[in-house]
Amino acid sequence: MARIALLGLRQDQERILTVLHDLRLAQVEALAPETMAQLGPERGPETLRRVGDEALRFRGLLSALPPVGAPTPRRFDSVADILAAAGTVPIDAEVGALVREADHLESEARAIDETVRALDELAFVPERLDTFRSPSLVALHGSAGPEGLAAIRTALAPDGELLLGPGAEARPFVAVARASRADAVAAAAQGSGVRLAPVPPLDGTAAEERVRAVARRSEIARRRGEIRERLAALAAAWYPTVAAIAEALEIQNRAGELLTKLGASRSAFALEAWVPARDVPRLRTAVERATEGRVVVVEVPSREEPPTMMANPAGFRRFEFFVRFYSLPQATEWDPTLVFAIVFPIFFGFMLGDWGYGLVILLVSLWMIAGFPGARHLPAFGRRFVRQIMGPKAMQQLAWTLLPGCALAIALGLVWDEFFGYGLFHHLFGYVAPLKPDADVGLLLLVAGFIGLAMVTLGFLFGAVQEMFRRHRRGVLAKSGGILFAWGIAFFGLAVIHHATSVSVHPIVVLWYACLASGLVLIVGGEGMNGLLVGLIEIVSHILSYTRLVGILLASVILALVINTVAGGLVRGGAVGIVAGVLLLVVGQTFNVILGVFEPGIQGARLLFVEYFSKFYTGNGRPFRPFGAPRTHTVPAVPSETTASAPPAAL
């Protein structure tokens, strides 16, 4: 990121801000105090308040009118043109009245629906409903079983009355009690789980009032249809104009919010902004073209931490989800997204290691990416549980990141002959897998150890390079010492395996002593004796922590094996055993699939967040939020490489 300063004429301010808005390259910052002291704050034009009022007005119109097609983008040459066009739109009063009437009718329709449901419950009552109205009485209705009715009858005693409708289990009823007994009846109903509601304050019988309510509901529906038709007609005539003016006003509103950050004199103004370094020439060319060269754009030195703009290739950009969840990187440190996007699927696929589980998770991920088709048919408790974890958009983003891990899990499962913990290929074709997770634990632990060594080394390497760029020599020494000590630990492990731990001329022993000694010296030189012990424990524990890759894999394999073995034993026990075995197989394997998402996902991300990020990553960066937004209904009056010309708006 580069910090730029822009100095221009007040007469060009609107054009310059329009260019900055459409380029969307500059995050405008508050002007430096010493510069502000020379210029003074920018007060903004007198029309700024009117722009805000009109933006609010057109925002309301835009929400009330139904969208109509894709109108041709309009062009406004100045703020005055936008305000003049806004003054030609005469539909506010009519649209407001129609919307208010529609809201009132919608509320009335909901109330009528509730009344109709109550009248359906009261259909068994032959008396007129005004019979139940009395200053000294309370009439409540509901539906209850024998226990609930007994509790309410007890609460009504001694002088209440209970009218019962037809039914065997849950029977509709009307409870009539003195006003003084209302609380007791309500408490009895609540204790029995019975929902009470007052008898509607109507005059006729339930059947008569239901006919009137249904007729009124039909009348409301007809009138609401007329309102929709009228709004549609207004939209056909005015929506393109309203949408264009609303967008133009919103752009001017956003520009107005920047004015407090600008400095200005009588004839000039200045601003400072963060811009991606590669885009500074592009921005300079655009504003010079818009002002015919009446502007100065220069890069200025700054000690302020710049904002962070994450710029990863398209395929890796989806993994920014994890990095942002942890902490946004600072602009001056390594963005770990690329390594995360490569390593996380490897960890996930390795820990899953079953082509049956991998295929199920892959299909579920594709279903999520497709927009959850048919999700309404799932059990309600399942949908609520999933929504509590994360929203649909976040779940789709997560599904994209699981695809490569599922592909690797399928590939490893095919090689290892693991299908829901069952050696399917061996039993069908006599295939002998070159490696079985439950039989070759030692080899897998060795592989996990080398993975841990590689990740810790990579983390220390990034940390050393970063410390070098920051000119922290002691930091470079400490990170370099961490690499050497980590490799010394690895050579020590190999020496133990080869029974060559005594003092000798064995190459592994020589490398072991050399790496350990030089690593210790560099760590002491970088962090001192106080940080030595903590640093050594951290290095060893972080390398060993990667053995959890094998632990999660074995847990899944063994659990699947237990489920299959127990279910197979039950199936041999007759009809009941077959049902129990199939049920255990379905429930158990479903549970293991769920674990296959959470455990590899959480543990894989944890290994990167803790054991890898901690070597070089600070985080707590502030996001890059450039000024501007996409245009849909307008094009700027100042053409640039991002815009196309359009006819001016007709007034």
Residue 370 lies in a domain: yes
Q: pLDDT at residue 496 above 80?
A: no
Model confidence at 642, in pLDDT bands (50, 70, 90)? Answer: very low
Do 202 and 348 lie in one domain? The reply is no
Domain match, 140 and 205 both:
yes
Q: Residue 628 to residues 18, 247, 248, 269, 642: CA-CA distances in angstroms?
A: 9, 12, 12, 19, 12
Residue range 391-416: average pLDDT?
89
Q: Which of 542, 558, 586 is the last residue of a domain?
A: 542
CA–CA distances in Å: residue 443 to residues 440, 494, 547 = 6, 13, 11
Quick one: 461 and 561 in the same domain?
no
Give bridge partners of residue 272 from the DSSP assignment.
5, 29
Note whether residue 179 is domain-resident.
yes
Rounded alpha-carbon distances, angstroms, from residue 147 to 140, 151, 176, 194: 18, 6, 18, 10
Do 148 and 189 touch, CB atoms closer than 8 A? Answer: yes
Contact 95, 231 (CB under 8 A): yes
What is the CATH number for 188?
3.30.70.2750
The pLDDT of 547-576, averaged and rounded, is: 88
Residues 343 and 197 in one domain: no
The answer, yes or no, to whether residue 154 has pLDDT greater than 90, is no
The pLDDT tens digits of the residues spanning 74-84 come to 888 888 899 99
Query: Residue 139 belongs to what domain range?
Result: 104-220
User: Which of 333-342, 412-421, 506-515 bottoms out in mean pLDDT, i.e. has the lowest?
Assistant: 506-515
User: Within the chain, how many helices (H) and strands (E) appear?
Assistant: 21, 11
Tell me the two tokens of residue 160. 């209440």
**In-domain check, residue 527:** yes
pLDDT of residue 506: 62
188 and 110 fall within a common domain: yes
User: How sure is the predictor about 643, in pLDDT bands with cuts at 50, 70 and 90?
Assistant: very low
The most confident of the ranges 180-194, 402-416, 570-584 is 402-416
Distances (CA, A) of 538 to 451, 531, 534, 595: 16, 11, 6, 29
Which has the closest alpha carbon to 483: 511, 441, 522?
A: 522
Q: Is residue 385 part of a domain?
A: yes
Instruction: Please work out, in degrees rounded to the nearest 5, the angle formed at the alpha carbon of residue 148 by the alpha carbons of 147 and 152.
Output: 120
pTM of the model: 0.72
Which residue, 222, 203, 303, 300, is CA-closest to 4? 300
C-alpha span between 127 and 134 (Å, rounded):
15
Q: For residue 237, is it within any domain?
A: no
Residue with tokens 């100045």: 78
**Which of 97, 86, 21, 24 has the alpha carbon at shortest distance from 59?**
86
Mean pLDDT of 50-63: 91
Q: Answer whether residue 547 shows pLDDT above 70.
A: yes
Q: What is the 3-state secondary structure (H, E, C) of 362-416?
A: HHHHHHHHCCCCCHHHCCHHHHHHHHHHCCHHHHHHHHHHHHHHHHHHHHHHHHH
**42 band by pLDDT with thresholds 50, 70 and 90:** confident
The kind and range of the H/E element at 139 are strand 137-144
Do both 321 and 426 map to the same domain? yes
Residue type (1 letter), 478: A
* 644, pLDDT greater than 50: no
Number of domains into which the chain is organized: 3
pLDDT at site 101: 94
**Rounded CA separation 431/438 (Å):** 17
The whole-number average pLDDT for the span 489-497 is: 74
635 vs 361 pLDDT, higher one: 361
Contact 605, 218 (CB under 8 A): no
Q: Please write the tens of the pLDDT for every residue from 305-354.
A: 899 988 888 888 889 888 888 889 988 888 899 999 999 999 999 999 99
pLDDT tens for 282-317 read 999 999 998 999 999 999 888 888 999 888 888 888
Does residue 483 share a domain with residue 526? Answer: yes
Q: Encode pLDDT of 82-120 as tens digits.
A: 999 999 999 999 999 999 999 999 999 999 999 999 999
Same domain, residue pair 496 and 509: yes
pLDDT higher than threshold 70 for residue 508: no
Asked, for residue 551, whether it belongs to a domain, the answer is yes
By mean pLDDT, which of 244-248, 389-393, 488-492, 534-538 is the weakest? 389-393
Do 138 and 196 reside in the same domain of the chain?
yes
Residue 408 domain flag: yes
Please give the share of the chain, as a percent, with pLDDT higher than 90.
32
pLDDT at 270 over 70: yes
Q: pLDDT class for 361, splitting at 50, 70, 90?
A: very high
Question: Which residue, of 220, 242, 262, is where some domain finishes?
Answer: 220
Q: Which of 551, 582, 554, 552 has the alpha carbon at shortest distance from 566?
A: 582
Verify that 455 and 561 share a domain, yes or no.
no
Asked whether residue 496 is domain-assigned, the answer is yes
Instruction: Using a pLDDT cut of 70, give the percent of the chain over it.
Output: 92
Query: Can you give the pLDDT at residue 647?
Result: 38
Provide the pLDDT for residue 370.
87
Terminal alpha carbon distance of the chain: 42
Residue 649 in this model has a pLDDT that exceeds 60: no
The first and second tokens of residue 378, run together, are 């799932």
Q: Please determine, for residue 601, whether its predicted confidence score (pLDDT) is greater than 60.
A: yes
pLDDT reading at 233 higher than 90 = yes
Average model confidence (pLDDT) across the chain: 86
State how far the alpha carbon of 315 is from the alpha carbons of 337, 349, 361, 431, 608, in Å: 11, 18, 20, 36, 19
Which pLDDT value is given to residue 438?
84
- 265 or 410, greater pLDDT: 410
Q: Which residues are bridge partners to 543 per DSSP?
A: none
Query: 200 and 162 share a domain?
Result: yes
Structural domain ending residue among the three candidates 495, 521, 542: 542
- pLDDT for 153: 87
**Are both 416 and 560 inside the same structural domain?**
yes
